């Protein structure tokens, strides 16, 4: 009985007197263990709904009735591991599924399920059957002294009548030699179990009788037509036959629960080690002395070919122990040591396989010792016992272990030695280093054939769709997983995946693929795969998921700042929880708050969250729109502002940020979309504007304004003087003007480098040909506007004026990028070329191939790159994708039409 059960039992006793409840200290005092440990146990019990809490100081606990009877059949990682089945070596590993099935067979209401055990010779079927019986007693399904009758059908193989009579009983004279009425074993097993080994030896007549009993709950003894015998017996049948064999099909059809026990080659090395250890310890106990064994011998036992499984392993170990014991006696050694010479020949060969498993062996036997000691005093067998505490509290397990060793009267050195192995093994289990090794044949014993097929199908699909290779490990893993998850879904148990949103975002492709796979599974197995499970499936397709999940790359920061008490908070809450992160930060600005205070708050937040990737500020309106640029200037941290923000926008930005987009990628993709909306909502103005700029926006720019106005009198244009130095960046303000008006040129006292707008220096205006330049610009602008009007009439997909202006800007930025100027006549042609190109793309017209595209793009690789970059904005804005052929045509037009300087 585990500590936790002790605690509970004591609690139920104590509360008979203390009706108000029992405190942890009470229990700790009586059990003589630490109060904090007791508290921990009580909390576990509380979480399991086994006890209730009475709040106060100290907290009191009361049991919740009905617990005691169910303690044993709990499938809980913390408690309930005291039943016979869970003590088996490999209970949490390769026997996990068999044990789970066995428990289900025993507990299935009302009377459990008859069970067929499959497995090769020596895998432990008899023992497993016996343990199922034990488990039935422990879970109070049968009474303590219920019968367990074992019968090997092979024993009477020469005499089918006798065999059948043994099981079902016989009426006198039923066959020659049946000289009296006799009860069968089935009747003797009433209210208990009958274990029928080698069931495939049962003759057809016996099979029929057995099935009658399975189907109806009664049978007739051999030769008896009158008496129906009703019994309540659970049958556990076993066979080494291949489950696919014809003979066995009749059984697999009629017996509802089929449990396959894996052969030893399919069990992990750590499990095999545990088996070896168990057997040596058993011998040690039998001999009444410690047994030492050298490391190489252990390795041989771990790696030799052992076709008759656990049974063979056990006898091979017994053999070596016997030999070593003999030597110990005859040579009067001080110790009983097993070395290589004691091992049977075929076992010794095991060490030859070391190269294949070196790493695992080293992990498993990671110790400096060359000789291992197995001590007779320790009972139950020490260390490396099954993963008892794998999900429990590691340190508690260690403490308890230490305690029990001390109680056993061991000296300090021995304890240290053992603890060394213990801690090591616990950690190993925690880290979960050791993969199970299965070959194809092996795995088919553990996982259903149809699931294996589906797993293979899925991985083939995955390779095709995701373009990845998957190794056998994934195949096995997926098969195991499917087996369990499908069962789980069928049982209607909830599946929870805490990583779901993370997976959905970071492994979008894999997730979408998993959705398809889920459909496939749904149809095939007639289930409904929940989305959490889809997340798990997706994880299988992200081969290097293990590493990526931990790694965290710096990301762009996101601040949502809004007027109002909680607007920002609620937006951020929605976005964060939808994306499944805590990345976006909210800053609420109540109307009473002064902008200055808000600014400080915002600035500090930017400083706090910036990871070197810049910060996106998403704001609604007013003073908040300027904060970003101000903070940028003041702190040097790149801040971009997106205005008039809505919740969907926050989600979109956050999604991109989490995906690892760079600052500009996020903002650009966004600004494009927004500006389309803006322009649809507010009709574009045709006003032509020339911007004049000086530092203050007052002196020189006003002067320039009047000079230009007087020289260009009669032209249809506005002149807008602005200041260069402002809280808001100049580029941004010019962008805004350019969005509203047709900005033809900028005239300024300092160089202003805006890609898409021609620039004239103030000096030129005052002393040179600046006015002439402006006139030419205006002339060209007029042609542009005519083109725009004309396009307006001819193109249906696009707003002629808008596209003309966009292309004009595009041409400017390409010129800038290529460092050339195109003769103005050619520009008109280029405008039309690009306008029709976009129109054609929108109409789905295929592009014309460019002759020798490859050679051309190699020759002008850099220039092609520039064109591609410049055209990106158009692609985004118009939702098109421009191919290399078209880029090459465009590049050619620029290169061949450049002005010769």
Q: Which is nearer to other proteins, 501 or 824 (CB)?
A: 824
Q: Which of residues 16-55 bind other proteins (CB under 8 A)?
A: none
The residue range among 417-425, 434-442, 593-601, 825-833 that interacts with other proteins, by the rule CB under 8 A, is 825-833
To other proteins, the closest distance from the beta carbon of 850 in angstroms equals 8
Instruction: Find, among 26, 2, 3, 1, the residue nearest to 11 by Cα.
Output: 26
Cis omega (within 30 of 0) on the bond before 263? Answer: no
In the complex, minimum distance from the CB of residue 782 to other proteins, in angstroms, rounded to a whole number? 9
Of 778, 828, 872, 880, the residue at the interface with other proteins (CB under 8 A) is: 828
864 near other proteins, rule: CB under 8 A: no
Smallest distance from the beta carbon of 826 to other proteins, in angstroms? 5
Distance CA 783, CA 828 (A): 8
On the CB side of 65, CA atoms within 13 Å amount to 1
Q: Under the criterion CB under 8 A, does residue 893 sit at the interface with other proteins?
A: yes
Using CB under 8 A as the binding rule, whether residue 226 contacts other proteins is answered as no
How far is Cα 632 from Cα 731, in angstroms, rounded to an integer?
14
* Contact between 887 and other proteins per CB under 8 A: no
Count of residues touching other proteins (by CB under 8 A): 31
Rounded to whole angstroms, the Cα distance separating 342 from 292 reads 12
Among 419, 461, 515, 832, binds other proteins (CB under 8 A): 832
Spatial separation of the C-alpha atoms in residues 94 and 92, rounded to whole Å: 7
Residue 739 or 898 having the CB closest to other proteins? 898
Nearest CB to other proteins, comparing residues 472 and 789: 789
CB of 834 to other proteins, least distance (A): 8
Cross-strand bridge partners of residue 692: 721, 747
Using the rule CB under 8 A, is 685 a contact of other proteins? no
* 889 binds other proteins per the rule CB under 8 A: yes
Does 830 engage in binding with other proteins (CB under 8 A)?
A: yes
For the stretch 313-322, contacts whose Cβ atoms lie closer than 8 Å and that sit 24 or more positions apart, written own/partner, are 313/122, 313/264, 313/272, 313/275, 313/276, 313/279, 314/275, 314/279, 316/343, 316/344, 316/347, 317/276, 317/279, 317/280, 317/283, 318/279, 318/283, 319/344, 320/344, 320/347, 321/280, 321/283, 321/287, 321/291
Q: Are 92 and 105 in contact (CB under 8 A)?
A: no
Using CA atoms, how far residue 664 sits from 153, 382, 566, 872, 877, in Å, is 78, 61, 28, 13, 15
Q: Which of 212, 840, 872, 880 binds other proteins (CB under 8 A)?
A: 840
Nearest approach in angstroms of CB 755 to other proteins is 21
Per CB under 8 A, 842 contacts other proteins: no
Nearer to other proteins, 197 or 806 (CB): 806
What is the smallest separation between the CB atom of 657 and other proteins, expressed in angstroms?
A: 39
Options 149, 831, 866, 870; binder of other proteins; rule CB under 8 A: 831
Give the binding range for other proteins (CB under 8 A) out of 148-156, 406-414, 565-573, 828-836.
828-836
CB of 803 to other proteins, least distance (A): 13
Closest to other proteins by CB, 484 or 833: 833
Residue 807 beta carbon to other proteins: minimum distance, rounded to whole angstroms: 12
Among 1, 591, 896, 900, binds other proteins (CB under 8 A): 896
Closest approach, Cβ 847 to other proteins, in A, equals 8
Give yes or no for residue 818 binding other proteins (CB under 8 A): no
848 contacts other proteins (rule: CB under 8 A): yes
Q: How far is the CB of 861 from other proteins (least distance, A)?
A: 21
Q: Report in angstroms how near the CB of residue 701 gets to other proteins at its nearest.
A: 33
Rounded CA-CA distance 213/235 in Å is 10
Taking residues 774 to 813 in sequence order and writing x for each that binds other proteins by CB under 8 A, - otherwise, the string is ---------xx-xx-xx---x-------------------
Confirm or reject binding of residue 899 to other proteins (CB under 8 A).
no
- Terminal CA-CA length for the chain: 96
Q: Are 297 and 256 in contact (CB under 8 A)?
A: no
Q: Determine, following the binding rule CB under 8 A, whether residue 823 of this chain makes contact with other proteins.
A: yes
843 binds other proteins (CB under 8 A): no
Nearest by Cα to 261 from 475, 73, 102, 456: 102
Query: Could you tell me the smallest distance in angstroms from the CB atom of residue 882 to other proteins?
Result: 12
Determine the interface stretch with other proteins among 138-146, 265-273, 512-520, 893-901 (rule: CB under 8 A). Answer: 893-901
Pick 157 or 845: Cβ nearer other proteins = 845
Task: Decide: is 836 part of the binding site for other proteins (CB under 8 A).
Answer: yes
Cis geometry, peptide bond prior to residue 597 (ω within 30 degrees of 0)? no
Stretch that binds other proteins, among 478-486, 611-619, 630-638, 830-838 (CB under 8 A): 830-838
Q: Enumerate the β-bridge partners of residue 563.
A: 589
If 0-12 CB within 10 Å is exposed, 13-18 middle and 19+ buried, where does residue 400 land? middle
Q: How far apart are CB 900 and other proteins at their closest, in Å? A: 11
| CA distance linking residue 893 with residue 832, whole number of Å | 12
Q: Measure the CA–CA gap between 133 and 116, rounded to whole angstroms.
A: 14
837 binding other proteins? (CB under 8 A): yes
x/- mask, other proteins, residues 138-177, rule CB under 8 A, reads ----------------------------------------
Spatial separation of the C-alpha atoms in residues 389 and 315, rounded to whole Å: 30
Strand blocks (E) in 322-437: 337-338, 371-374
CB 149 within 8 A of CB 129: no
**Which residues are CB-contacts of 896 (< 8 A; sequence separation ≥ 6)?**
none
Stretch that binds other proteins, among 123-131, 212-220, 354-362, 819-827 (CB under 8 A): 819-827
Q: What does the DSSP assignment read for 180-241?
A: S-EE-HHHHTTTSEEEEETGGGS-HHHHHHHHHHHHHSEE--BT-SS--EE---EEEEEE-S
What is the C-alpha separation between 32 and 210, in angstroms, rounded?
A: 54
For residue 722, the number of C-alpha atoms closer than 13 Å in the C-beta half-sphere is: 23
Beta bridge partners of 238: 117
Q: Is 825 in the site for other proteins (CB under 8 A)?
A: yes
CB 271 within 8 A of CB 312: no
826 counts as binding other proteins under rule CB under 8 A: yes
**Closest to other proteins by CB, 454 or 835:** 835
* Residue 812: CB minimum distance to other proteins, A: 16
Could you tell me how many residues make up the chain?
Answer: 901
Helix axes of 24-31 and 3-17: crossing angle, nearest 10 degrees = 120
Looking at 173, 829, 865, 879, which residue binds other proteins (CB under 8 A)?
Answer: 829
Q: How far is the CB of 693 from other proteins (least distance, A)?
A: 30
405 vs 864, beta carbon nearer other proteins: 864
Q: How far is the CB of 756 from other proteins (least distance, A)?
A: 19
Residue in 99, 514, 571, 835 binding other proteins, rule: CB under 8 A? 835
Pick 213 or 784: Cβ nearer other proteins: 784
Q: Counting contacts by CB under 8 A, is residue 860 touching other proteins?
A: no
Neighbours of 476 (CB within 10 A): 22
Residue 238 phi/psi, 5-degree rounding, is: -145, 150
How far is it, in rounded angstroms, from Cα 796 to Cα 310? 80
CA dihedral sign of residues 484, 486, 490, 492: positive
In the complex, minimum distance from the CB of residue 897 to other proteins, in angstroms, rounded to a whole number:
6
Q: Find all residues with CB under 8 Å of 135, minimum gap 6, and list them.
A: 72, 83, 84, 85, 102, 103, 106
At closest approach, how far in Å is the CB of 509 from other proteins?
A: 35
Query: Phi/psi at 595 (nearest 5 deg)?
Result: -50, -35
Q: Where do contacts with other proteins occur on this chain (CB under 8 A)?
A: 783-784, 786-787, 789-790, 794, 823-826, 828-833, 835-837, 840, 847-848, 850-851, 886, 889, 892-893, 896-897
């Amino acid at each position: 009985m585990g500590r936790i059960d002790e605690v509970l039992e004591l609690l139920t006793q104590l509360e008979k007197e203390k009706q108000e409840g029992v405190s942890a200290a009470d229990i700790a005092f009586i059990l003589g263990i630490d109060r904090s440990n007791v508290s921990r146990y009580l909390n576990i019990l509380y979480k399991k709904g086994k006890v209730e809490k009475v709040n106060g100081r100290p907290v009191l606990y009361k049991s919740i009735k009905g617990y005691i009877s169910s303690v044993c059949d709990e499938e809980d990682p913390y408690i309930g591991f005291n039943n016979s089945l869970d003590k088996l070596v490999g209970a949490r590993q390769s026997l996990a599924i068999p044990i789970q099935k066995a428990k289900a067979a025993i507990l299935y209401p009302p009377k459990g399920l008859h069970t067929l055990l499959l497995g090769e010779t020596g895998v432990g079927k008899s023992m497993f059957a016996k343990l199922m019986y034990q488990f039935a007693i422990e879970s109070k399904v049968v009474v303590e002294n219920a019968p367990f009758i074992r019968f090997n059908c092979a024993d009477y193989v020469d005499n089918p009548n006798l065999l059948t009579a043994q099981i079902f009983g016989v009426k006198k004279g039923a066959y020659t030699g049946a000289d009296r009425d006799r009860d069968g074993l089935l009747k003797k097993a009433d209210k208990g179990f009958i274990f029928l080994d080698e069931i495939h030896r049962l003759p057809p007549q016996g099979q029929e009788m057995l099935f009658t009993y399975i189907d109806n709950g009664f049978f007739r003894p051999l030769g008896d037509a009158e008496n129906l015998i009703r019994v309540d017996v659970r049958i556990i049948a076993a066979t080494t036959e291949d489950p696919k064999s014809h003979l066995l099909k009749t059984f697999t059809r009629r017996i509802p629960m089929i449990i396959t026990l894996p052969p030893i080659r399919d069990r992990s090395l750590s499990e095999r080690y545990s088996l070896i250890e168990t057997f040596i310890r058993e011998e040690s106990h039998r001999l009444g002395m410690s047994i030492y064994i050298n490391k190489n011998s252990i390795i041989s036992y771990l790696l030799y070919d052992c076709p008759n499984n656990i049974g063979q392993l056990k006898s091979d170990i017994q053999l070596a122990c016997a030999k070593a014991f003999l030597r110990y006696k005859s040579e009067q050694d001080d110790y009983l040591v097993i070395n290589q010479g004691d091992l049977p020949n075929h076992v010794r060969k095991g060490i030859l396989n070391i190269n294949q498993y070196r790493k695992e062996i080293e992990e498993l036997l990671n110790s400096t010792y060359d000789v291992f000691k197995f001590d007779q005093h320790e009972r139950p067998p020490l260390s490396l016992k099954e993963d008892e505490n794998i999900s429990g509290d590691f340190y508690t397990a260690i403490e308890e272990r230490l305690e029990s060793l001390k109680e056993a009267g061991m000296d300090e050195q021995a304890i240290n030695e053992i603890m060394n192995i213990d801690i090591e093994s616990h950690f190993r289990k925690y880290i979960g280093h050791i993969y199970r090794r299965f070959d194809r044949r092996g795995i088919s014993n553990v996982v259903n054939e149809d699931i294996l097929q589906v797993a293979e199908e899925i991985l083939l699909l995955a390779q095709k769709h995701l373009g990845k290779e998957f190794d056998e490990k994934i195949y096995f893993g997926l098969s195991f997983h499917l087996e369990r998850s499908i069962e789980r879904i069928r049982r209607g148990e909830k599946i929870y995946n805490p990583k779901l949103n993370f997976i959905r975002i970071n492994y979008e492709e894999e997730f979408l693929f998993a959705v398809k796979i889920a459909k496939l599974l749904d149809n095939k197995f007639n289930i409904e795969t929940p989305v959490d499970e889809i997340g798990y499936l997706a994880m299988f397709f992200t081969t290097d998921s293990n590493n990526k999940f931990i790694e965290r790359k710096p990301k762009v920061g996101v601040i949502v700042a809004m007027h109002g008490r909680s607007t920002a908070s609620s937006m951020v809450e929605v976005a964060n929880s939808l994306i499944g992160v805590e990345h976006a930060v909210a800053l609420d600005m109540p109307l009473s708050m002064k902008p200055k205070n808000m600014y400080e708050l915002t600035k500090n937040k930017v400083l706090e969250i910036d990871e070197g990737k810049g910060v996106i500020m998403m704001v609604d309106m007013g003073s908040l729109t300027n904060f970003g640029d101000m903070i940028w200037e003041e702190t040097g941290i790149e801040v971009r502002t997106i205005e008039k923000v809505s919740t969907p926008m926050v989600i979109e930005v956050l999604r991109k940020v989490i995906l690892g987009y760079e600052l500009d990628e996020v903002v650009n993709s966004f600004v494009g979309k927004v500006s389309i909306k803006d322009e649809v909502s507010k009709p574009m103005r045709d006003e032509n504007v020339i911007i004049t700029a000086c530092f203050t926006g007052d002196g020189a720019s006003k002067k320039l304004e009047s000079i230009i106005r007087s020289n260009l009198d009669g032209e249809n244009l506005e002149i807008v003087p602005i200041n260069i130095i402002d809280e808001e960046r100049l580029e941004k303000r010019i962008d805004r003007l350019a969005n509203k008006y047709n900005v033809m040129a900028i005239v300024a006292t300092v160089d202003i480098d805006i890609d898409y707008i021609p620039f004239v220096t103030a000096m030129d205006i005052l002393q040179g040909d600046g006015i002439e330049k402006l006139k030419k610009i205006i002339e060209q602008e007029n042609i542009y506007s005519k083109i725009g009007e004309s396009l307006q009439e001819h193109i249906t997909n696009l707003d002629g004026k808008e596209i003309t202006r966009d292309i004009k800007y595009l041409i400017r930025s390409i010129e800038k990028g290529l460092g050339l100027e195109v003769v103005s006549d050619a520009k008109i042609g280029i405008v039309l070329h690009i306008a029709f190109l976009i129109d054609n793309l929108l109409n789905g017209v295929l592009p014309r191939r460019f002759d020798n595209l490859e050679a051309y793009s190699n020759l002008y690789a850099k220039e092609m790159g520039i064109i591609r970059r410049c055209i990106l904005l158009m692609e985004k804005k118009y939702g098109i994708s421009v191919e290399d052929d078209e880029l090459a045509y465009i590049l050619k037009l620029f290169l061949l039409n450049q002005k010769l300087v």
